[in-house]
Structure 1
């Protein structure tokens, strides 16, 4: 008589088993990791500090080439260390464009011009996404993690992402207003300070709100899915009872 095959134990899955593959796929990089991690945030500030210090002590030309050189060195370092390449490349081009504008305008404050107007552009895009009911925080998060856009059907989940997106709108608006005023006042030193001071702290606030919004939206989706499963089970039970044999 053929013996039935024993049921596999949950803990006996090999690394190549389907369960192990699913576990590996469940581990998604966090938003901070996707942006280059803490090191990426630190690296982004180094060229700015070098530019300002070099401009004070050696003049604009040295400041321009020093900031570009530091950006190149950071990019090479990240490549050698096999860290995420996209943040390194975007950071290098950001510094290069800022240095080019400073050279064209002949003024150190031109180094910050791109960042100022970029803040205005980003703030406008994020605000528009809320107005058209496609809040960018939810869209970007769902796209990066492959969760789909079903959250848009639930008003509470969409509201959570609206709040997170509007937080970024406030952050970008604050950066633009303060830094544009300092730019007009020719306060290059304070402009550099504002860029750094309004970078990490405000980003941390927006990130915290984003984490809250994601947790709230995902909880809502799970609750809706559970309700749907319960509803389907009740409907199936009623059908079985209706068509059951009267024996």
Structure 2
């Protein structure tokens, strides 16, 4: 079930079911700490900087971007630390680079991100509107209550709005970045991708966790 999978993914990412966890720690864990931030940002940053300085040959900026992602993966494997985040970044960077090399357009390096934003945004919004918020499914299984949240009007309403908020975030990214892609403004597109990445993700995680903590702390106190 998707909820169980999402809840399991959250646990593997280090998120806790304890509502007493600090918001700062939850956000920091979700981003992967300094290492996760660097692994997430540096490949794209390397591409944007090199492409801006020297658009041709395209292979140079793409090769450095993929090389940085590959280096992070190798370091994780050598240190025997979980390579999933870095490996995911490497696969994404390699796929995007392959597409850009095939078409010869630097802007196509951002196509996978545009597709991801479109899919995630649409799924989040539709799921919330039909009463099966993705956020609710993930939190329900993370907190060990499965689908019981759907019988609680307060939780159902909160997860509805959180689902819409997350969907709006992905669709906002798409609405800003797609016109830049269509007009081949590679440098600005890459810059805004970085600006609309972790700087928007972190506050959304914080707000989500604050709402979740308030919901479940109140639920714990009500029987008393």
Q: TM-score, normalised by structure 2?
A: 0.81
Identify the match of residue 40 of structure 2 among 32, 44, 68: 44
- How many angstroms does 1:213 deviate by? 2.1
- How many angstroms does 1:145 deviate by? 4.7
Are the equivalent residues in 1 in contact too, given 2:26–2:209 (CA < 8 A)? no
- How many angstroms does 1:62 deviate by? 1.2
- How many angstroms does 1:35 deviate by? 5.4
Q: Kindly indicate whether residue 204 of structure 2 is the aligned counterpart of residue 206 of structure 1.
A: yes
CA distance in 1, matches of 2:157, 2:81: 35
The structure with the larger Rg is 1
In structure 2, the gaps of 5 or more residues are 1-15
Q: TM-score, normalised by structure 1?
A: 0.74
Map 1:1-247 onto structure 2 (within 5 A): 30=26, 32-33=28-29, 36-55=32-51, 56-57=53-54, 59-224=57-222, 226=223
Aligned alpha-carbon RMSD (Å): 2.3
Are the equivalent residues in 2 in contact too, given 1:78–1:85 (CA < 8 A)? yes
Which string of whole-angstrom CA distances, capped at 9 and with x for unpartnered residues, describes residues 199-241 of structure 1? Answer: 12211221122112211321343245x16xxxxxxxxxxxxxx
* Worse overlay, 61-70 or 174-183: 61-70
- Are residues 174 and 34 of structure 1, via their aligned partners in 2, closer, same or farther at CA, if it must alter by over 3 Å? closer
In structure 1, the gaps of 5 or more residues are 1-24, 228-247
Structure of greater relative contact order (alpha carbons < 8 Å, 6+ residues apart): 2
Are the equivalent residues in 2 in contact too, given 1:36–1:84 (CA < 8 A)? no
Q: Secondary structure at the match of 2:158?
A: helix
- Are residues 140 and 180 of structure 1, via their aligned partners in 2, closer, same or farther at CA, if it must alter by over 3 Å? same
CA distance in 2, matches of 1:71, 1:145: 33
